[in-house]
Amino acid sequence: MKDKIESIRKEYIRAVLDEAHTSASPIHQFEVWFDEALRSDLPEPHAMTLATVDDRGRPSARVVLLRNVQDGVFSFYSNYLSRKGKQLDQNPFASLSFFWPELERQVRIEGKIVRLDADISTAYFASRPRGSQIGAWASPQSEVIPHREFLEERVAFFTEQFEGQSVDRPPHWGGFGLQADYLEFWQGRESRLHDRIIYQWQTDGSWKRGRLAP
């Protein structure tokens, strides 16, 4: 196993990144890169790793889906009672990371988490496929369950309960938004001398741009 892992090598040669190639706004810069990821037809370019920390300082990470970027807020949806939901209530700071290997790019984002307004969560929930709506009611997310049949029985129960009517948003389900105060744009380069451009939010309400050593 060790030899197999250590033998993996890749040189990054697709592009360069410097201050002249980036926007003064990191949010606009993210939109530019995200649009390029979309046009490249990558598999799930909106998939991002969300890292949280519990009340003991233990980190936890998982992949979630980006659903909107507006006014510097990166939004996603989940069960408020899930492990990540509870951790975000305990410690409202988190980080996101996107990795687009086909483009040899990575984006890291840090900031404070807030819950989205209920009307925003309700509107998004209404746009989800019905099966996903039922699933939000049926799954006690992150809790130990006895077997798969337990989940299937709950799906059947809520399917019958909402038969012939729209599915309301569960009170324990909704949106989170990360208000970014730090972003890093990483472009792979040869010999691991990667380009790393960072943006940090300043107290005067502006973004400061700089370069990090690879």
Q: What's residue 3's pLDDT?
A: 72
CATH classification at residue 86: 2.30.110.10
Which amino acids are annotated catalytic?
192
Q: What's residue 210's pLDDT?
A: 97
Q: What's residue 9's pLDDT?
A: 77
| 83 is a domain residue | yes
Q: What's residue 10's pLDDT?
A: 80
pLDDT in tens, the chain (214 residues): 877 777 887 888 889 999 988 999 999 999 999 999 999 999 999 999 999 999 999 999 999 999 999 999 999 999 999 999 999 999 999 999 999 999 999 999 999 999 999 999 999 999 999 999 999 999 999 999 999 999 999 999 999 999 999 999 999 999 999 999 999 999 999 999 999 999 999 999 999 999 999 9
d(CA 69, CA 26): 12
| 94 is a domain residue | yes
| 144 is a domain residue | no
What's the domain range around 75? Answer: 2-118+172-211
Query: Domain total for the chain?
Result: 1
| 108 is a domain residue | yes
Does pTM top 0.75 for this prediction?
yes
Q: What's residue 135's pLDDT?
A: 98
| 20 is a domain residue | yes
